[in-house]
Structure 1
Amino acid sequence: MSRGIHGFEPTFLVGIEEVRRAHGPRLAALAGRRLTGFAVVRFVEDGDWFADLPIVLDFDGVRVEVCHWKLDELSIGWNEIDTTAAVTGWEWSEFTPRWSGDHECLEPLVGRVLTEARLLEWRPRPPGRDLAAGTVAVEFAFGEDVLRITNGLDENFLDTGAAHPDYVRHELIR
């Protein structure tokens, strides 16, 4: 158990090739599956989303668990996290984390069929000093609607719509 989440044993990878090699075929195989649910962690006291913890997407019983960490690390897990178990070990905190099926970016996609999963790499133009250079995002296309889970520089960030032009798309093969 990591960060108080039952089943979360992250393997953080760096770089597009590492992530694609480890998870590309499984991500590609999600195409054609329906998003049947999701879970994020919110604080009970104020309802705020705690973006440091994994985002769990359920595609007809196949769960993908995405978590960014530090400036360039990404962990993708498969069917490991138990979102019915309490998030523990937070007795020191004034906030109580709890799994939630509430997020304005994710709710409209529930029930939709995934048409394609993609990996994106941030390559700023012109190249230079950019802390995000080389970070990897996971993108899920539901027809015209798109969801991206990106590195918000040490936390997850959810984005919808067209990707920024500085993202380079990498093909995934089953």
Structure 2
Amino acid sequence: MNGTIHPAAPHHLPVFITAPGDTDVLMVIMAVFLLVAVLAVGLLFLRLHTLPERIAHRSHKLQFEIVAVLGLLALFTHMHIFWVLGLLLALIDIPDFGTPLRRMARALERLAGMAPEEDAVGATAEPDRGSSLPESRPTLVVPAEGEGDAIERPAAVASAQKERANA
């Protein structure tokens, strides 16, 4: 081969055209850029995918486990409805009905004089610290209407004691 340039070829070649046997710098730069772009998009996708789970965890939702399972289902099945359901569930505050009902049950057990039930953990339920209800309540003897017999009824608790018990 001779070293002369063909007369139709341009005398000044662009930067991205390399000589035979040289390293193609533009290809190396684009390969690194492509690798970084794929990793960045993957991280963005995973951050977006775990958004419902992070919202539920940050706000200490009761339904955190359900949101996490819906996120995993969305990831493995590629059904986006699971992700949307998880996001909606993470944003909605489900009211806690259990705590007030347990408090009412404990208060009724105390009023009835029964021993407190064991919690799910195994420890006995602690009575409210602010409660100042007496252990044994005095009874009033009130005659029934139209009858001379007396019926024993519990004495009324002072309103201050009721207010402290409800606080």
- When the two structures are superposed, what TM-score results if normalisation uses the length of structure 2? 0.18
Larger Rg: 2
Which is bigger in relative contact order (C-alpha 8 A, separation at least 6)?
A: 1
Q: Which structure dedicates a bigger proportion of its chain to helix?
A: 2
